[in-house]
Structure 1
Amino acid sequence: MRYLRKSAQSKIISNQWQYSNQRDRTKIRQELLNEQMGFCAYSERYIQSTDAVDVEHFDARLKSTENDSYWNWYTVLHWINQHKPRNIEPFEPILKPYSADLNQRIKYENGQFIAVDPNDKEAENLIKYLGWNRPELYEDRRKHIERIRFVQQVYKDNQDQFFDYLVNHPDNLSFFSAMSVELELPDSLIERINKSS
């Protein structure tokens, strides 16, 4: 969930790039990818150079309107974009993905993303709308965590080396929200990616 964050200091805002301007689209895509540290905003999978990637409009109703802006755009894997529902209406009311309290309202538990408060319909709707518990994504996440758990055991006597290994191979940090819970990883690992690049 960390790649859903937005910043009022984004280059996209300061440069006034518009998705409606064909020449700005590549710059928007690249800057979103930079802000997301190379990860898909929705799945949290690391984006490889051979992956198909889209600039996704969270609320598709805003696309091609004057209300479409940086706050509605995310860089996501094409597969995720193709499997997200086209109509947001059945999922309203919905928590905005960049909400400051997102991490207090949604948590990862027992392999699934759930609302912290079972009565929080907005949080539940965001989870469903973005498909965080889709069987395919659940299975990819489970296999990845299982693999990284094995690597963690290899480095069990040297946690610093384990962390270095993860940071030097960012794809190992895919599904970080789930991995940080399952493997008790610190948030600082993601920050180290920025410093090392």
Structure 2
Amino acid sequence: MRRIVKNPNSLVRKNELNYIEGNSNNNLKISKILYSEQKGFCAYTEEFIGRADAKDIEHFNPNLKNTPQDSYINWSLVKHQWNTEKSNKWDKYQPILLPTDSSFEDRIVYDNGDYRVSDSKDNEAFNLIKLIKLDDIILANQRKNYIKRKTSEIEKFGVSPEDFFQVLIDDDINQISYIRAIQEEFKINIWDMIPQPK
């Protein structure tokens, strides 16, 4: 997972949109803006959210939902499964590192397909890993297998990682997953290579 960077000029803020429970028309506007800002990727899994994927506006701190304090900073777009699996666990994993924290990628490090804390005494980072299941074995194995496959394909085609991933982006964005893993493993800034969805 990458640090979640919130846009100070987001259309959510400019249009003063508020999440309204049960108002699908209003919340769809927020969802579309978040989808565009996240370039179509789930904030937690970093898998592309396809048209058939169920997705949710995730309220990172669920205690803020439906309160005046709930806002754009607290919202991300995630795959429905990950939102569901996080629910009802907030109080169990406190204190917690915010995914928007500027030190996020220093405190939660990518390590050959896994995410771990850089400091074993960092309870906030450890709790975030547990809360949103960054240590999920199945997801970690999918991420490792994806990187292994892409490494093999790059070697087979004899092209640079930049050229290889640019072809995937241009051909079918669904072929891209695990943004931070790609950046760490292939030393490329794939995030900047991916266009903003229209």
State the TM-score, normalized to the length of structure 1. 0.90
User: CA distance change for structure 1 residues 195 and 97 in 2, over 3 Å: closer, same or farther?
Assistant: closer
Of 42-51 and 15-24, more deviation after overlay is shown by 15-24
SS of residue in 2 equivalent to 1:4: coil
The 8 Å contact of residues 32 and 75 in structure 1, kept in 2 or not, is answered as: yes
- What amino acid does structure 2 have at the position aligned with 1:64? N
Query: 5+ unaligned residues in a row in structure 2: which ranges?
Result: none
Q: Distance in 1 between matches of 2:187 and 2:50?
A: 22
Residue in 1 that maps onto 2:184: 181
- 2:7 aligned with 1:7: yes
The 8 Å contact of residues 3 and 36 in structure 1, kept in 2 or not, is answered as: no
SS of residue in 1 equivalent to 2:155: helix
Query: 5+ unaligned residues in a row in structure 1: which ranges?
Result: none
User: CA distance change for structure 1 residues 192 and 111 in 2, over 3 Å: closer, same or farther?
Assistant: closer
Deviation at residue 47 of structure 1 after TM alignment:
0.9
SS of residue in 2 equivalent to 1:178: helix
Report matched runs for 1:52-67 at 5 Å.
52-67=54-69
Residue in 2 that maps onto 1:18: 18
Q: Percent identity?
A: 33
| RCO comparison, higher one (Cα < 8 Å, 6+) | 2
Deviation at residue 147 of structure 1 after TM alignment:
2.2
- Number of equivalences: 195
The 8 Å contact of residues 85 and 129 in structure 1, kept in 2 or not, is answered as: no
The 8 Å contact of residues 55 and 75 in structure 1, kept in 2 or not, is answered as: yes
- What amino acid does structure 1 have at the position aligned with 2:132? L
Deviation at residue 148 of structure 1 after TM alignment:
1.5
Of 127-136 and 38-47, more deviation after overlay is shown by 127-136
- What amino acid does structure 1 have at the position aligned with 2:82? I
The 8 Å contact of residues 41 and 75 in structure 1, kept in 2 or not, is answered as: yes
State the TM-score, normalized to the length of structure 2. 0.89
